[in-house]
Amino acid sequence: MMTHFDQLESTNCYLRQYHQGMPQYAVVTAAYQTAGRGQRGNGWESEPGRNLLFSMLYYPPADLLPSRQFQISKAVAVAVAETVDRLLDGYDHPEVCIKWPNDIYVGDRKIAGILIENALQSSTRIAHSIIGVGLNVNQREFRSGAPNPVSAVNITGRETPPEVVAGWLRQALVATLPLEDAELDLRYRGRLWRSRGFHKYVSLVASAAPAPTAVKVGDDSGRAGCFEAEIVGVDPDGPITLRTRSGELRVFSFKEVAPVL
């Protein structure tokens, strides 16, 4: 089931309101969103009809506990990255990577964002998940002030119908969401952005307010929380462990750290 709208408040909002009775893997897309949201509470810029605005309804297996819901995020990130690979196939481009926790980068530029909303039935059961994806397909210019956006057409010069990309993404999600933990972890870690070497980060104060997913060089000047570190690993429940140049291990949850571009 795949339903398209010319305009919605957001595809995630639509599924949140009308998901009852919809089947597993039902998809809603829109040409334009009046209130699209990205990860960390940030807005999502998209010109009407130019990009993929996509949400899928997912009923996780009963044995996937709420404490392990980050598995869904990893599976979605892998599926979106594989879809971007397909979208860019045949063209020279930097590596398609997953920036922790689930932004999709081509080199050092962001091509897709993911927003997953999990509805808990109890402390031991996820009733359903709404998987939202914004993927930059045909937009040539970005005006929102986001630090590093890029689209497929910026890289390839070729436009692709968003509805075609929607079909590819649905296919990838259906294949990736049921993966066993070990296989999924291997594929996620294999695509992790900046997984090797030391890089610059800024520590943030966790809050409910929007937080930067990345900071440009120069915007970090004077910040007391700047440091260099390498990625040690990502915990099953989501936090990332970084090792500083002095050997200190530091663990960060969402909204608590941002890389410097």
Sign of CA dihedral 251, 254, 255, 258: positive
- Calculate helix-pair angle for 70-88, 162-176, nearest 10 degrees: 140
Buried/exposed 25-53: b ≥16 CB within 10 Å, e otherwise = bbbbbbbbbeebbbbbebebbbbeebbbb
Q: What residue type is 211 in one-letter code?
A: A
State the DSSP string of 198-258: -EEEEE----SS---S-B-TTTTTT-TTEEEEEEEEE-TTS-EEEEETTS-EEEE-TTSEE
CATH number assigned to the domain covering 199-259: 2.30.30
CA gap 15, 127 in Å, rounded: 14
Task: Tell me the domain boundaries of the chain.
Answer: 2-190, 199-259
CA gap 44, 131 in Å, rounded: 15
Q: Which of 241, 179, 192, 212 is nearest to 81 (CA)?
A: 192
Instruction: Kindly provide the residue ranges of all beta strands, DSSP E only, lying in 37-108, ordered along the sequence.
Output: 52-58, 96-99, 103-106
Q: Which H or E run contains 7? A: strand 2-8
∠ CA 4-9-12 to the nearest 5 degrees?
70
pLDDT in tens, 35-69: 876 555 556 789 999 999 999 999 999 999 999 99
Strand order in the sheet with 240-244: 249-252, 240-244, 226-234, 199-203, 257-259
Q: Which H or E run contains 112? A: strand 109-122
Domains 2-190 and 199-259 share a fold: no
Report residue 1 as tokens. 């089931």
pLDDT in tens, 82-122: 999 999 999 999 999 999 999 999 999 999 999 999 999 88
Q: State the fold for domain 2-190.
A: BirA Bifunctional Protein; domain 2 (3.30.930)
Walk along the chain (261 residues) and give the pLDDT tens digit of each residue: 899 999 999 999 999 999 999 999 999 999 999 987 655 555 678 999 999 999 999 999 999 999 999 999 999 999 999 999 999 999 999 999 999 999 999 999 999 999 999 999 888 899 999 999 999 999 999 988 788 999 999 999 999 999 999 999 999 999 999 999 999 999 999 999 999 999 999 999 766 667 788 988 777 655 668 999 999 999 999 999 999 999 999 999 999 999 999
CA gap 50, 137 in Å, rounded: 6
Helical residues (DSSP H) of the chain, grouped into ranges: 11-18, 70-88, 152-156, 162-176, 181-190
